[in-house]
Chains A and B, each alone.
Chain A
Amino acid sequence: MNLPEYIISPLAALLLSPLLAGIINRTKAFFAGRKGQHLFQVYFDLARLFRKDYVFSKTTSWIFRVSPVIIFTATLASTCFVPFISSGTRISFAGDLVLMLYLLALARFFLIISALDTGSSFEGMGASREAFFSVMTEPVIFTCLLSIMRANGTVSITEALSAPMLSDSISVLLSALPLFFVLLAENSRIPFDDPNTHLELTMIHEVMILDNSGPGLGLLEYAASVKLWLFSLILGRILLPSTGMSPFVQTLILLAIMGLIAVVIGTVESVMARIRLIKVPQMLFGAGVAALLGFFINVTKAIPW
């Protein structure tokens, strides 16, 4: 239990993150009436990708070859700031929230330029949409997490998320709900994007990595599952009930909540169609307004719950 938290959190993400995708796939299979793939299928896929050889496009430069490494490392590094087990030493400083989100932005920057490096119009289209969505998701994440930090009275996200969670259910609701929308948008999930295809109507994340192959593709897929893990972990932390439990029980409950989030994602993907691209901004603006409302209530303390 004395391992530093900033090591445990990325380790947990590395080990457990592909499982979330497995749960989502099983949920979707259940709704479709299929038996579905193995729960650990994503692990097998990753292992297979890492064993494969490379195929590179002649158009690409070193940017394309280096990007998977930077994307993977930056995404993994951003998990250091969200505690997995709420004991142990942490890196926390005022403004670690900014570092966490900007590490994800660094990963996105390289994802976009590596897609543009292939010179393909498909990947250009994906890159353009990824950039477009990020403009709208970033302010929403900031507002949601700011509201959580204000409720806990700390300027560090690590502290805010490892503190016993809020008794203030309005704040929890008004930051968790927008954050769930952002989770779907940032992780290329239905209704924003379709993780299964790279076809024109949905091309965002899957199309950007179209030209990657072998271990490079493996790193990118791994980074994507770590990112999904990170967002679910933040959401799970916010929803975690705040009674005096031992860290071990707390972690088990946290894992259960995250599994539940994965089931909800799978359900959303099964019962919804992708919305039109033009409607995406409206949905994210709606989420942003809800987050703002949460912050205002927090500031004015109008509703002492």
Chain B
Amino acid sequence: MLTVIICTLILVLSGLLSLTLKRDHISFKHIIPGAIATVCTFLLIHIIIDYKSVIASSFSAFFSWQLPFANLVFGLDPLSVFFLIPMLILTVSSSLYGPRYFDKHPPGHKHWFFFSTLVAGMILVLLSRNAVMFIISWEVMSLSSFFLVISDKDKDESVQAGWLYFITAHVGTAFLFALFFLLSSTDGSFDFSSWTGITGRKSSVVFLLALAAFGLKAGFIPFHIWLPQAHPAAPSHVSALMSGIMIKMGIYGILRVLTFISPYQAWWGFLLIALGALSGILGVLFATGQHDIKRILAYSSVENIGIILLGTGMGITGVAYGSQTVAFLGFAGALLHVLNHSLFKSLLFLGAGAVIRQTGSGEVDHMGGLIRTMPKTALLFLTGAIAICGLPFFNGFTSELMIYVSCLYGSIKEPQAALAMAGLCTIISLATIGGLAATCFTRLFGTVFLGEPRYSAITPQKEIPSMMLWAMAIPAVLCVLIGMLSYFILPLLTGPVYALAGSTNYNTSGIKSIALTSSLVSGFFLLSGAAVFLIMWTSGKKKVRTETVTWDCGYSRPAPSMQYTSSSFAAPLIRLFHFPVAMKKHLSKSDDLFPASSWKFFSAVEDWFLTGIYTTIIRSFDRAFSSLRWFQSGKAGQYVLYIAVTVICLIIWKFYL
């Protein structure tokens, strides 16, 4: 425990150190991120080796702490360790990636400072066992990520995205205050340890408040509006960290609050399944309609948070209906998906960063054929793309399989019709999400990496530096390992799942046999694939291989611009789902007979949650309160008058009432 706290302090110190160094100094560029990576690696090794003692450790201050309501109480339990592990892995890989990513445009002085405080803030969120400490850490995390989002201050979009993020984060914090005050109202204590066993109607209110407070961080629909703006604006390794693990802090918050309240109501589960289905399906549909590589990935995070909610919803429903198998598998699938999504999403964001660094653009429809100049990036990106679609023998499959099996038990084995319906809805949502995700990522990978280059001007000449490739290889290797050997990850899951399901007597042999069998099948598949490949290869050695142009159906000169673009690839799907994802077309034309400039056309899927719902709400607030604007005139005399009136009122109240 003490090791964790000391390491966090070292992280902050190394961040502070970076403020004092010169910007073009070699140590600034490499040593600070190197130090962050080293500290996190050390911490990771410490946690894995000492897992048994770490998960039960706690720490409270041995000196008196002067902050009101705050106790310096820290603790680690299986739930927080489960989030801590992917967090540290991602920090290592993004801080290895960062320095070379910035080769061409070195970052501002404060970049690594805010990076280290973001990491420290996240560690403290996971450690905090007191409401005030939690809110402080939460704010450190939110503010440092805000400063990282606006690190490209010259661009209007970055600043806009930053403000949107800033506001949503603080609306979330406002809900967090309400939540913690409600939780502490029973005995006035702000320590988490005194909050157990909240029941009845209060627990439902607590649950809804937690959904709003943490949902704004987790970014499920309808709270997702900041995600697709902020992730593209931040530098890629920061997006990897934010999308990979920072939004999962929202999930952590919801799960942490679930451990305070019991018994679970079935309708919480149904609500989570509905929200999960909504964000899963709409998230990936919005992703399929986008053109910006990082925006596609950001919307896909919304989708994956949806999958996590589906699992959590099945877990809660299972507990509410007393089905341990459904509950265990639902929670286990949701948690494993947290780990898995953090790995493949950070891999994809780092891959997107590599593409942006080499081409100078994030516009998918301008790229093409990158696999020829950047083969290693392409392979790593493909790994992430297959994993995120939940396809077999990569890690995305293992977690989705658990959620599916939970639903299968719910809809087949259990007598309650409600559980069967919950299971059926989750299965249909997951199947639809699976199909849509495959569309989204074949489209992304195919347009960026395959085919012919569409614009030769931005086609990269060479591969990214090997340091960045190694940084991407860490999550990629883990994606494959967890997919093949999910059996070994199960012990990490049982602790948090027992805490959530509120029971420790679940027999895990069923889940273990699923993990073992799917590992066996994956081995079998690999072997037979290798056999087919060998046969093809040996028999193919004698064969003549002719190279020619792609069959062009009678065209004499196939041109790169004739290729299917990502927009045309997605068109039938977007047309079918035109109700939730309307394609907006913009055409700027001039009516002159001899137009001076060419007409400009672009089409994009608009997020009507932002442009429709939220803008309307904010406008109506604006209108409602504009009548009170005279109150703030800005004249000093008027304010003195306010003070005088207040004082007089108080005196009257004190003496005459």
Contacts and interface: CB of A to CB of B under 8 A. Distances in A.
B549 interface: yes
A142 B573 contact: no
A63 B397 contact: no
Nearest to A200: B553
A273 interface: no
Interface string A262-305: 00000000000000010001000000000010010001100000
A97 B412 CA distance: 13
B428 A143 contact: yes
A215 B521 CA distance: 26
B450 A105 contact: no
Nearest to A132: B572
Nearest to B416: A299
Nearest to B553: A122
Given A61-B371, A69-B532, 9 more contacts: A50-B539, A69-B529, A91-B517, A97-B408, A116-B451, A118-B550, A120-B563, A128-B570, A135-B435
Interface string B532-549: 110010011001111111
A113 B544 contact: no
B547 A56 contact: yes
B438 A109 contact: yes
Nearest to B423: A146
Contact of B424 (A134, A219, A295): A295
B268 interface: no
B432 to A, nearest CB: 5
B446 A117 contact: yes
A299 B443 contact: no
Nearest to B517: A93
A304 to B, nearest CB: 16
A280 B605 CA distance: 23
Contacts, number: 244
A155 B423 CA distance: 12
Interface residues of B, number: 82
A283 B590 CA distance: 43
A76, A103, A109, A118 pick with most chain B CB within 10 angstroms = A109
Given A103-B392, A124-B568, A139 B431 contact: yes
B517 A54 contact: no
The 8 lowest CB-CB distance pairs between A and B, nearest first, are A124-B564, A116-B446, A119-B451, A135-B435, A95-B405, A131-B439, A57-B550, A53-B544
B434 A105 contact: yes
Given A57-B548, A117-B446, A134-B438, A146 B371 contact: no
Chain A interface size band reads: 35 or more
B442 A116 contact: yes
B417 interface: yes
Interface of A: 50, 52-61, 63, 66, 68-70, 72-74, 76-77, 80, 91, 93-99, 101-103, 105-106, 108-109, 112-113, 116-125, 127-129, 131-132, 134-139, 141-143, 146, 149-150, 153-155, 210-211, 214-215, 219, 277, 281, 292, 295, 299-300
B213 to A, nearest CB: 33
Contacts of B439: 131-132, 134-135
A94 B573 contact: no
A71 to B, nearest CB: 10
A82 B159 CA distance: 56
A63 B371 contact: yes
B445 interface: yes
Contacts of A80: 521
A54 B517 CA distance: 38
A127 B432 contact: no
A106 B392 contact: yes
Contacts of A102: 390-392, 397, 434
9 contacts: A63-B450, A69-B529, A105-B391, A119-B451, A127-B446, A139-B431, A142-B431, A299-B417, A300-B417
Contacts of B375: 61
A281 B539 CA distance: 42
Contact of B576 (A73, A93, A123, A132): A132
B450 A54 contact: no
B572 A277 contact: yes
A217 to B, nearest CB: 12
Given A53-B545, A155-B405, A119 B563 contact: yes
A135 B391 contact: no
B335 interface: no
Contacts of A134: 435, 438-439
B532 A155 contact: no
A94 B510 contact: yes
Given A102-B397, A119-B369, A132-B573, A77 B411 contact: no
B417 A119 contact: no
Interface in B384-434: 386, 389-392, 397, 400-401, 404-405, 408-409, 411-413, 417, 420-421, 424, 427-428, 431-432, 434
Contact of B427 (A137, A146, A219): A146
Contacts of A70: 529
A121 B571 CA distance: 14
A99 B401 CA distance: 8
A160 to B, nearest CB: 9
A300 B572 CA distance: 37
Nearest to A153: B412
A142 to B, nearest CB: 5
Given A119-B369, A134-B435, A127 B564 contact: yes
B510 A59 contact: no
A149, A155, A210, A295 pick with most chain B CB within 10 angstroms = A155
B564 A125 contact: yes
A288 B544 CA distance: 47
Interface string B499-524: 00000000000100110011011001
A259 B514 CA distance: 35
Given A59-B451, A142-B428, A150-B411, A98 B548 contact: no
A121 B573 contact: no
Given A63-B450, A119-B368, A146-B427, A95 B408 contact: yes
A244 B442 CA distance: 47
B420 A117 contact: no
